Amino acid sequence: MVMLLTGGAGYIGSHTALVLLEAGYDVVVYDNLSNSSPESLRRVERLSGRSLTFIEADIRDTARLEQALTEHAVDAVIHFAGLKAVGESTEKPLAYYENNVGGTLSLCQAMRAADVRTLVFSSSATVYAESDEMPLTEAAPTGRPTNPYGSSKLMIEWILQDLYAANPDWSIAILRYFNPAGAHESGEIGEDPNGIPNNLLPYVSQVAVGRLEQLSIYGNDYATPDGTGVRDYIHVMDLAEGHLKAANAIARASGLHLWNLGTGKGYSVLEAVQAFERVSQRPVPYRVVGRRPGDIAQCWADPRKAEAELDWQCSRGIDDIMADAWRWQSHNPQGYRDSER
Ligand code: NAD
Ligand code: WQD
């Protein structure tokens, strides 16, 4: 089976490419490298002992996408490509809607033209309405996201639902990720954000490795056990394996499915920092500052639907996430730039 991964050179896409190659799939990565390095793909090839096809192009180029789908006889698409920086999305809403929503429309049009109707989409727990009731099942109401990034994910979900309603021969999986974190256990591939990281784990590991001075913890006055925000951190390899299972499941029959990919456990910022320090044996200096606009107190998944329907389960815990994040960061202090020089 041939899988085309839009955004496959990025953080989650590169780990998924590795899992797919190891499972025997042929992989075509379609990425404009706007937030990634081709070095990730070279390392994926080395780790798997297999080669993949890389196409450097933009998903908004519908003709190029259609050509790629046809030329490589693609069976299914996993759609990771998009912009994902929440803060930046409030400053550049049009760029986010154009890339994420416009890019997805372009992808669906190219798929229709090439007669490829099997699609796995990277959505996010950010589409859920803020709630005091945890864990979140797929039936929990969606909300009005607090930023254009989140809105773009919800808009894409609506587009895919409408597409399926009109074309029930499509097979679509919408995967709502909780908080992806960690790295492949080899330490060879991992998360390599441009500039100052927005997300907790890359920030913590860059403090530990000495690239950043101190972590700012955004608020300790939430209604949570220790006052800091609680999230469901899912190991990126468990997440990658979830994509393999989802792609297999939807290849069998048409349908539209929603699946949460999370662990079902929440950890506070302080618990996450302590776990990182314990596992890495490195101090992570921090100070508590005010809340970050748009943040919520708590968010964790009920993953039972995905577990039952996909025969999938997370096998890695918080200590594995921290150990693997640290192995990646300490082996590659400047990320992929270390080998680009
Ligand atoms: P990433 O930035 O590492 O990967 C995205 C990839 O898409 C990059 O390689 C980038 O170069 C590429 N890309 C962006 N715009 C493109 C375009 N127009 N054409 C072609 N390629 C393009 O991000 P990630 O963390 O791997 O996230 C993958 C997907 O999962 C994204 O859609 C993101 O919104 C979603 N997601 C991520 C998280 C998270 O915390 N990382 C959580 C929920 C959902
Ligand atoms: C986790 C916790 C912060 C950084 C975001 C997006 C979501 C999804 C995943 C992607 C929170 C705290 C963080 C720091 C801190 N996106 N924190 N200091 O906000 O749950 O989700 O990423 O595509 O859509 O909203 O993740 O890692 O930013 O934050 O105290 O420097 O860590 O307040 O409680 P978040 P995060």
Residue 296 has pLDDT above 90, yes or no: yes
Q: Which ligand is nearest to the CA of 201?
A: 2
Check which CATH number belongs to the domain holding 40 and give it.
3.40.50.720
The parent domain of residue 76 ranges over 2-340
For 248-278, write each residue's pLDDT tens digit.
999 989 999 999 999 999 999 999 999 999 9
Q: Which ligand is nearest to the CA of 177?
A: 1
Domains held by the chain: number: 1
What is the mean pLDDT of the segment spanning 233-243? 99
CA distances from 266 to 1, 120, 146, 211, 302 (A): 36, 26, 21, 28, 11
For 126-159, write each residue's pLDDT tens digit.
999 999 999 999 999 999 999 999 999 999 999 9
Percentages helix, strand, coil for the chain, rounded to the nearest 5?
45, 20, 40
* 149 belongs to the catalytic site: yes
Mutate to test the pocket of ligand 1, among 84, 233, 258 (most ligand atoms within 8 A of CB): 84
pLDDT bracket for residue 339 (50, 70, 90)? confident
pLDDT computed for residue 147 by the predictor: 97
Rounded to whole angstroms, how far apart are CA atoms 149 and 89? 6
Residue 338 has pLDDT above 80, yes or no: no
Residue 340 has pLDDT above 70, yes or no: no
User: What is the reported pTM?
Assistant: 0.99
